[in-house]
A and B are shown apart, each in its own frame.
Chain A
């Protein structure tokens, strides 16, 4: 069974600063997908970024980027120029091709003025 571990239950960052959220996973598969979802206080699940395991290049979406280390089974999320609206719970998630998402327990990020 695949497991996803987020070792930081809570983090805080000042506005305009950079923060990195950690995620590790365990799998024996070679083809899979990794995701970061954001859950603001409204509790909606919003896709932030995704990474295909077969791609060596790290995914980037505007201020959000990942550091994907396949051998280490690590998938961290970097948020640059943090904004107050980034305050949310962030979930790392894993999916084998064609199968359901397996989520980590989440990291609560607070962006302060």
Chain B
């Protein structure tokens, strides 16, 4: 069964450093997402991406964050200057186009980011 893959699974970085989290969405999917889950809290939406541009973003997704689809397969989340409060599990997700999928969003296994 096709799946969303994320790398790295765990990264430790120093405060102020740049971090890039990588994702390979399911191959025929057209909508891509990043979500965040701070330990013990609910999953929060960050950004959605469609047709090579951001289609929706939350208030969490400020100027420190950016997303990119540099080639036909990868989808990346960059945090320019990490803060302690950026420590969280970051989930990449993707969705096919059309109603047949039932609007189902499929998640990767997550990238656990620890900022020290």
Contacts and interface: CB of A to CB of B under 8 A. Distances in A.
Contact of A47 (B43, B48, B104, B112): B104
Given A43-B110, A44-B109, A97 B45 contact: no
Q: Is the interface of B mostly helix, strand, loop or mixed?
A: strand
Interface of A: 33, 35, 37, 42-47, 50, 52, 91, 93, 95, 97-106
Pairs A-B, 7 closest by C-beta atoms:
A45-B107, A100-B45, A33-B103, A103-B43, A105-B42, A44-B109, A103-B42
Given A100-B58, A101-B105, 19 more contacts: A42-B109, A43-B37, A43-B89, A43-B109, A43-B112, A44-B107, A44-B109, A45-B43, A47-B107, A50-B104, A52-B102, A52-B103, A93-B43, A100-B33, A100-B45, A100-B56, A100-B105, A101-B33, A104-B42
